[in-house]
Amino acid sequence: MRHAVPFHLVIVPPPAGRSPREYLVEELRTALLAGEIRANEPLPSSRVFAEAMGVSRGTVVSVYEELAGEGYVVSVPGSGTFVAEDLPRPDLAAAPTPARSASGRRGRGVPRHQSPNPHSRQAYAAPPHSRQANATPASGRDVAAVRAVVNLSPGSPSTRFGENREWISAWRDAVRHDLPSLPPPDGGDPELRKSIAAHLRMARGVRCDVEDVVVTAGTSDGLGLLLHGLRAAGAPGLRIATENPGYPTARKVIDRLGAIPVPISVREGGMDLAELGRAPGPFAAALLTPSHQYPLGGRLPVAARLALLEWARKADAVIIEDDYDSEFRHGAPSLPAIASLDTEGRVVLIGSFSKILTPWLRCGYLVIPDPELRARVLEVRATLGQPVSGFVQSALAEFLRSGGLKRHLVRVGREYRHRRSLVIAAAAELGPNVRLDAVEGGLHATLSWTTGRTDAEVVAALAARGVGLAALSAYYHRDTRPGRRGIVFGYGAPSDLELRTALAAITEVLNS
């Protein structure tokens, strides 16, 4: 039986045994890519389409949301859902195709240009010419062949949010009153600390007291604060064990604040604990990304987590657990946070809302179970000043409390899983010497190889094709030799179509 829905597209209702939502997303995506619906045309209302397909209206809303997240359609509040303007149309594929501009998807007040900074997993930006309309004619009928310009900054999250009512109302509540005459407390807004503790219990199984939570302006601020607090304990020239390769920004913060980042190699599954055990001490701390090693991926097994706790006990060191994107698992289940295995208060959990919401917010947290260390950290905060706006803290507390963040994570998690499948499909077309890593969670991937072109050459070739991403070598400690050559890229921020374009360029360059 075929239902004609009241526009010119004809779709068979979902067959039994298939998820109606997945089926409809796929059918519409195919129809859109085939040019069966034109740019700016309206899709049927969710009510009409739901009736025609014999599914619930909620299913259709969720299908439209997913397609909007992928960039195929655009929702206009109060008007309906429309086919995106910049959809490649096969019948015009040989003609110039305007690329989607950054401003079309960003809010007012968002900077158009950012200085490129390959040493940050947040701030890496494409070359200056990126994200501008590119009039190079598309070379064929394949979507992936459209030469758009795409920024695959590792770690940049999805920007799709629209006019999120829960978000706007949380901010309105935060700013509608008389002005407070004092700054926020040193540890942060009590309501936000409560919301963060609840979020960590739900998302990471970490049971922490509200008092353990210290609000920060993000991971770098949290790390800096912690280093100041550790230094107050005595030792000058603190030595901090860091993953190699690892997060270059963290190494730079450690370096700038007069501490010493000591590189420890990363093996399958994370930091090489044997190497850590052999490394001459003393260590004030070890900084790790045990749930999703950055940038290589991999999870530290539970036995290694327990061994690390034992090392920390013997070394009298603190473990800094950077759980930067654990909210997104794709298949592989979460392992318990080291913080949740810790009975002695040796683990400090560090995190932020940069990846799960937006780095524009500048808000994160430390969870410090040890009261002495926490008191030192709060003393430093009191001296150097609270940087996190009380308005930000109140609004975020309310957005967490109301469940708005939870719903946002479900929406973007679905987007990321879909885009990750595109990355995996593209990687399957690469030669056997290229290895795909880090796709078991989060919103970035690495492709690496051992011989042949340097990663700098590959990054340059891709930049020439309008694709901005990072070289794996930038993640290695400057005094060590990179173990593998590779590229690191994010699939959180680009639209589905941008990602397809970029992946086509990546496979083309790596296979050539």
Please list every residue from 89 through 118 that binds its own copies, using CB under 8 A.
Answer: 105-111, 114-115, 117
Closest CA to 510 of 462, 464, 477, 472: 462
Q: Closest CB to its own copies among 378 and 430?
A: 378
Please list every residue from 268 through 327 that binds its own copies, using CB under 8 A.
Answer: none
Please list every residue from 352 through 381 that binds its own copies, using CB under 8 A.
Answer: 354, 357-363, 380
Q: Closest CB to its own copies among 18 and 172?
A: 172
Q: Closest CB to its own copies among 37 and 392?
A: 392
Q: Closest CB to its own copies among 304 and 445?
A: 445
Q: What percent of the chain is helix, strand and coil (3-state, nearest 5)?
A: 40, 15, 45
State the minimum distance, in angstroms, from the CB of residue 94 to its own copies: 32
State the minimum distance, in angstroms, from the CB of residue 161 to its own copies: 5
Q: Closest CB to its own copies among 333 and 385?
A: 385
Do 454 and 485 form a contact (C-beta atoms < 8 A)?
Answer: yes
Q: Closest CB to its own copies among 23 and 72?
A: 72
- Binding to its own copies by residue 156, rule CB under 8 A? yes
Exactly one of 127, 387, 413, 483 binds its own copies (CB under 8 A); which one?
A: 387
Distant-in-sequence, close-in-space partners of 246: CB < 8 Å, separation ≥ 6: 263, 266, 287, 289, 293, 294, 295, 475, 477
- Binding to its own copies by residue 218, rule CB under 8 A? yes
State the minimum distance, in angstroms, from the CB of residue 375 to its own copies: 12
Please list every residue from 229 through 248 that binds its own copies, using CB under 8 A.
Answer: none
Closest CA to 199 of 331, 386, 342, 351: 351
- Binding to its own copies by residue 79, rule CB under 8 A? no
The CA distances from residue 415 to 65, 81, 504, in Å, are 9, 18, 19
Part of the chain binding its own copies (CB under 8 A), chosen from 35-43, 154-162, 262-270, 474-482: 154-162
Exactly one of 89, 121, 228, 418 binds its own copies (CB under 8 A); which one?
A: 228
Query: 447: helix, coil or strand?
Result: strand
Q: Closest CB to its own copies among 228 and 374?
A: 228
State the minimum distance, in angstroms, from the CB of residue 147 to its own copies: 22
Cα 488-418-101 angle, rounded to 5 deg: 70
Closest CA to 70 of 389, 417, 456: 417
Exactly one of 62, 244, 386, 448 binds its own copies (CB under 8 A); which one?
A: 386
Q: Closest CB to its own copies among 113 and 481?
A: 113
Across the beta sheet with 213-216, the strand order is 213-216, 364-367, 347-352, 318-322, 285-288, 239-244, 260-267, 270-271
Distant-in-sequence, close-in-space partners of 69: CB < 8 Å, separation ≥ 6: 158, 160, 411, 412, 414, 415, 496
Rounded-to-integer distance, Cα 444 and Cα 158, Å: 12
State the minimum distance, in angstroms, from the CB of residue 193 to its own copies: 11
Please list every residue from 388 through 417 that binds its own copies, using CB under 8 A.
Answer: 388-395, 397-398
State the minimum distance, in angstroms, from the CB of residue 388 to its own copies: 6
Rounded-to-integer distance, Cα 347 and Cα 345, Å: 6
- Three-state SS sequence of 269-321: CEECHHHHHHCCCCCCEEEECCCCCCCCCCCCCHHHHHHHHHHHHHHCCEEEE
Closest CA to 332 of 298, 356, 357: 298
Part of the chain binding its own copies (CB under 8 A), chosen from 54-62, 175-183, 239-247, 286-294: 175-183
Q: Closest CB to its own copies among 61 and 257?
A: 257
Exactly one of 65, 70, 86, 189 binds its own copies (CB under 8 A); which one?
A: 189
